[in-house]
Amino acid sequence: MPSTELIPRAARGEIPAIARLISRAEAGMPEARPALAEIYKRAGKAHVIGITGVPGSGKSTLVAALAARLRATGGKVGVVAVDPSSPYSGGAILGDRIRMTELAQDPGVYIRSMATRGAMGGMARATLDAVDILDVGGFNTIIIETVGVGQDEVEIAKASHTTIVVSAPGLGDEIQAIKAGMLEIADIHIVSKCDRSDANRTLTDLKQMLTMGVRAGVASEWPVRVVGISSLNGEGFDELLEAIAKHRAFFKDSASGTQRRLAIAGFRLEKTAENLLIERFQQSAAALTPALAAKLSARQGDPYSLARELLAASLA
């Protein structure tokens, strides 16, 4: 079925149509682009929450628990996971929808692992396309989960309305968010696994870091929140939901929110352009590469000068 014909079905919330559109966005199918363009124009209603944290920070468990909580407050909840270590999929590999004990039976929750990586700019582009598809499908809250490693992954989490960074006790002496350069992107910090005895130190450290003005330079009136969470005993989730609701209102009505929307649009635009550019390059380079690769292999030139030759020839 042509992608444009899937739109009305997706808009009625039909999961098979939504899943197929996301797969096509993920694959970067040119055929799907007019449909994705149309979907973009219809989207923009959902609240998008980006959640990131280093591997082992417990963010996938947290995302599942948060999805269940958000679902309980009404409205549909979508999750787009860009996380190779995500347990949903054993590595974003098993694809599509997973069977999570409580959530899997609920048609109002849709969890999707994105396998797209490697395709230049493609992961960010496909993830944001997927968010739009869920948005049009009537999902009121959409969580983007990314592993907090690598610039692209962190930037995708940042390309959301409310960005949450998860740290966990016991992963090392220091706050993981600092190591990963994620401290300043968080609207809300979560310390997970707060049932553990060493969680208090992580909470204290994090609050102290924030007081020391690590977020200096980020122009915002939003007072960054630090919330301790236990996915095991449910501790902290009420506070988290309240913080999310507050930030949502702030995002909607503040100058910072407007600035943020522009930054997200700029990021999306550049990633989409990079994706199209690489696609164009790869098509024209395919025929030109073998001869230059033979030269490179024989060390009759270096990767940089031969790459410049390849670029000049393929873009000519």
The interface with a copy of itself within residues 26-55 (CB under 8 A) comprises 33, 36-38, 40-41, 44, 54-55
Instruction: Scan for tokens 């990767």, then name that residue.
Output: 303
The interface with a copy of itself within residues 279-298 (CB under 8 A) comprises 281-282, 285, 289-290, 292-294, 296-297
Instruction: Decide whether 68 or 264 has the Cβ nearer to a copy of itself.
Output: 264
Applying CB under 8 A, does 266 fall inside the site for a copy of itself?
Answer: yes
CB of 223 to a copy of itself, least distance (A): 25
CA distances in angstroms from 256 to 161, 178, 189, 247, 275, listed in the order given? 11, 23, 18, 11, 28
Q: Are strands 47-53 and 188-191 parallel, antiparallel or unpaired?
A: unpaired
Applying CB under 8 A, does 262 fall inside the site for a copy of itself?
Answer: yes
Q: Which residues pair with 189 in a beta bridge?
A: 165, 226
For residues 31 and 127, the answer to whether their CB atoms sit within 8 Å is no
# residues contacting a copy of itself (CB under 8 A): 76
Nearest-angstrom CA–CA distance, 95 and 136: 21
Applying CB under 8 A, does 128 fall inside the site for a copy of itself?
Answer: yes
What is the contact mask toward a copy of itself in residues 170 to 189, using x (rule: CB under 8 A)?
-xx---x--xx---------
Applying CB under 8 A, does 105 fall inside the site for a copy of itself?
Answer: no
* Options 119, 214, 232, 241; binder of a copy of itself; rule CB under 8 A: 119
* Options 150, 170, 223, 234; binder of a copy of itself; rule CB under 8 A: 150
Coil, strand or helix at 178: helix
* Options 14, 96, 106, 152; binder of a copy of itself; rule CB under 8 A: 152
Nearest-angstrom CA–CA distance, 77 and 71: 6
Residue 28's nearest CA partner among 102, 108, 130 is 130
